[in-house]
Amino acid sequence: MAHNNIWNLVKLLEGCKRARCKWVFKTKRDSHGNIKRYKVKLVKDFTQKDGIDYKEIFLPISKKDSFRVIMVLVAHYDLELHQMNVKTAFLNGDLEENFYIDQLVGFIEE
């Protein structure tokens, strides 16, 4: 992350809030219970207050009902449906505001 310039270490300005983040570790196993790989994510610790710490929340999740409606429309109008999986949809999103987080464990710099 440091090599890819994901963040810049700056001094927190007075009056600015910083978000708490945490590492989430997960072990992926195969069907026999053997360890297949280890995964880690940096996630925001969600302790926000409505109307104070955020404006809107968007979740990239579709419900079964939405999927069924789309499939019915495709079948009814004889349309073609293409599927695509975007794993990095929000990786390079542009923020309109500055976002400050605490220094992460293992990445402490003076």
47-94: pLDDT as tens digits: 656 665 555 555 556 678 888 888 899 999 999 988 766 666 566 667
User: Average model confidence (pLDDT) for the chain?
Assistant: 77
| Per-residue confidence (pLDDT) for residue 110, from 0 to 100 | 63
41, with CB counted inside 10 A (0-12, 13-18, 19+), is exposed
| Per-residue confidence (pLDDT) for residue 82, from 0 to 100 | 84
Mean pLDDT to the nearest integer, 23-29: 89
